[in-house]
Structure 1
Amino acid sequence: MKRERRIFSPEDRLAILQEGQREGNVVTCRKYHLSPSLYAKWRTKYLSKGVEGLKSAYKRIDPELRALEEENERLKRIIARQALEIEFKSELLKKSPVLTKTRR
């Protein structure tokens, strides 16, 4: 049977640690179905860094934000290519001989 991954917020983790101090680690771990090693890891991080240590080490990037960033990069490449074309064409115009008008 596959167990679903649970996500605890930093506030939840802090509440579980405080409850563990009051009622005991083993009782609290059984109540919340946590492994003692996970409880110990949370406790170590809390003691070393405080509440900041209980926050997730990784950030989830919003899919909309990721799509906007990719769009931004694509547009930057387009603009860079156009600027290069304009510069190339202006250099060609400087080097080409000027056509003179013929008088009739």
Structure 2
Amino acid sequence: MPGRLRRKFTDDEKRAIIDGAAQKGVNAILREHGLSYSVYSRWKEKFQPEVMKEQHAQFRLQQQVRVLTAENERLKKIIANQALEIQIKTEKLVEQASRFHP
């Protein structure tokens, strides 16, 4: 837009806006300051790279936990079925042995 002045934010102001987005919500803080999401994203990447990396790592960890939990449940079912089969076979053997050795 012609005639519109470009605002400059200090690094502290940018950090405050990023922190405010975490508290008030991104859309609300962007409207309040008249910023686009792309500007916010750039600032966030610049000022909080370790936070974003940590969030990504936590997300991946949660995914791995879900996969391992599902695998654990599947294995528990297999073990339960095997234990049941062993119990049934043991009972049949005891029953057969009692027929031959009264």
TM-score (norm 2): 0.45
Higher helix share: 2
TM-score (norm 1): 0.44
Q: Which has the higher contact order (CA 8 A, sep 6+)?
A: 1
